[in-house]
Amino acid sequence: MPRPYTFSIFFRIFASMKKFDELLDIMSKLRAGCPWDKKQTFETLRYLTIEETYELSDAVINNDLDEIKKELGDLLLHIVFYSKIAEEKNAFTIDDVIEGISQKLISRHPHIFSDAKAENADQAQANWEAIKLKEKGRKSVLEGVPNSLPAMVKAYRIQEKARGVGFDWDNAHQVLEKVIEEFREMRNEVKANGSHERIEAEFGDLFFALINYARFIDVNPDDALERTNQRFIKRFNYLEQQTLQKRKSLHDMTLDEMNVYWEQAKANEKL
């Protein structure tokens, strides 16, 4: 006799499938009847998808769970939209998309679905990169890093992929020493009035080393910088608001006068 929780799991799966089918049906009706939806192509959706991805990123940064739920829905809509367009072209269907990712997850996790070993996350990632390299017939593990990624995210992914094949520092202390070395080289180039190209190159090396160090201390540099951006915006907005209340203009204030409000904004954050 089936256990009670078996029926509960079955009911949840059935309910989820029904909701997904409803979404597919809605997409079909929109594609058939809405002038805007009928007009869309892979190319026109691309920029909208990028925007939705960044909106999800904002929600994650802000730890806004309700907004994360909404943005995931928007991304799911885009996946369904692309698949519907592809189905009309007789290229593939949403079922093909789901089957493809399922097969990929199974093949890339032999330590779960086969007899391979992965005692920790690094070994699991190494398995993933090795299998991916073999599947796609790539000559370099770095070929999988999209050219259009933002530079900081790209640097982080490059370093992660290099680590996946064992090309990495041993510990965070070594990387911090590299950061200090790169800072000195950049500073020396500036002091020596080096060319713009040399200063830019040394600055780039310093950024790359900092991103590497962030990875070693388990900090996502893009998230860290964005949170700093948000703190700056919040403090600057407070500075502007206080200035308006005092009927002053930022243009007429000294840096010391503005810094008073800046420090107030920082103090308010700690309350």
Task: Report the mean per-residue pLDDT for the chain.
Answer: 90
pLDDT value, residue 10: 63
For residue 158, give the nearest of 112, 110, 198, 204 by alpha carbon: 204
Asked if 240 contacts 170 with a C-beta cutoff of 8 angstroms, the reply is: no
Average pLDDT rounded to a whole number, residues 92-103: 95
Other C-beta atoms closer than 10 Å to the C-beta of 135 total 11
**Token pair of 101 as six digits:** 């990712």
Residue with tokens 């869309």, as numbered in its chain: 40
pLDDT value, residue 4: 55
Angle between helices 196-216 and 172-191 (to 10 degrees): 160
Question: Does residue 134 register a pLDDT over 90?
Answer: no
**Token pair of 147 as six digits:** 């050219």
Q: What separation in angstroms does the CA of 167 have from each of 75, 125, 151, 158, 159? A: 34, 13, 20, 11, 9
Average pLDDT rounded to a whole number, residues 115-125: 84
Residue with tokens 């951006």, as numbered in its chain: 229
Distance from C-alpha of 11 to C-alpha of 21, rounded to nearest angstrom: 15
Asked if 108 contacts 82 with a C-beta cutoff of 8 angstroms, the reply is: no
pLDDT tens figures, 180-219: 999 999 999 999 999 999 999 999 999 999 999 999 999 9
For residue 141, give the nearest of 157, 119, 118 by alpha carbon: 157
Q: What is the pTM of this model?
A: 0.69
Residue with tokens 């920082």, as numbered in its chain: 266
Q: Alpha carbon 19 to chain centroid distance?
A: 28
Comparing 36 with 130, the larger pLDDT belongs to 36
Say which range, 4-8, 28-32, 45-49, 139-143, has the weakest mean pLDDT. Answer: 4-8
Question: Does residue 79 register a pLDDT over 60?
Answer: yes
Instruction: Place 7 in a pLDDT band, splitting at 50, 70 and 90.
Output: low
pLDDT value, residue 210: 97
Share of the chain above pLDDT 90, in %: 66
